[in-house]
Amino acid sequence: MVCHGLGSCVGLFLYDRTLKMGAGGHIQLPSNNNPTVVTDGRHAEFALLSMLQQMKKLGSLEGHISAKMTGGSNINRMDTTSIGARNLKRIRELLRDHKIYLSKSETGGHAYRRASFNTGTGELAISKQHVELII
């Protein structure tokens, strides 16, 4: 699985070490305004719940699933809302709520990232492209 152009977005990848399978999502926003209605794939809740649901259908148990993530940059240094930081915070909360161990993360800063996740081995390769600021 590959996620291109991860700026403030977060690439979240789940891996079941016993079944040797994984899932991934490109998360754009931390949360929707109504957490009881999860219908939009851009949001952290939907992405995580969808991945967990699909993995459970294939036999995964939550205790066997770990996570890796990358992204969450502050690409626009003038941005005071810091969507990237809010994305990271929300994803960490959701992982904690579902008792999913975050085994690796490479997040924050001011770079775009490209992530390549091997769903069979759980390996995550990340490349960074730093942002040139022109004003």
The model's pLDDT over 59-100, given as tens digits with 9 standing for 90+, comes to 999 799 999 999 999 887 666 678 899 999 999 999 999 999
pTM: 0.88
C-beta of residue 27 within 8 angstroms of C-beta of residue 13: no
Report how far residue 109's alpha carbon sits from residue 112's, in angstroms, rounded to the nearest whole number.
9
Hey, how many other C-beta atoms are within 10 angstroms of the C-beta on 2? 11
Pick the closest to residue 105 from 5, 2, 11, 8 (CA basis): 11
Structure tokens at 20: 């040797």
Reply yes or no on whether the pLDDT at 36 is more than 70.
Answer: no
Tell me which fold the domain 2-130 belongs to. 60s Ribosomal Protein L30; Chain: A; (3.30.1330)
pLDDT for 79: 66
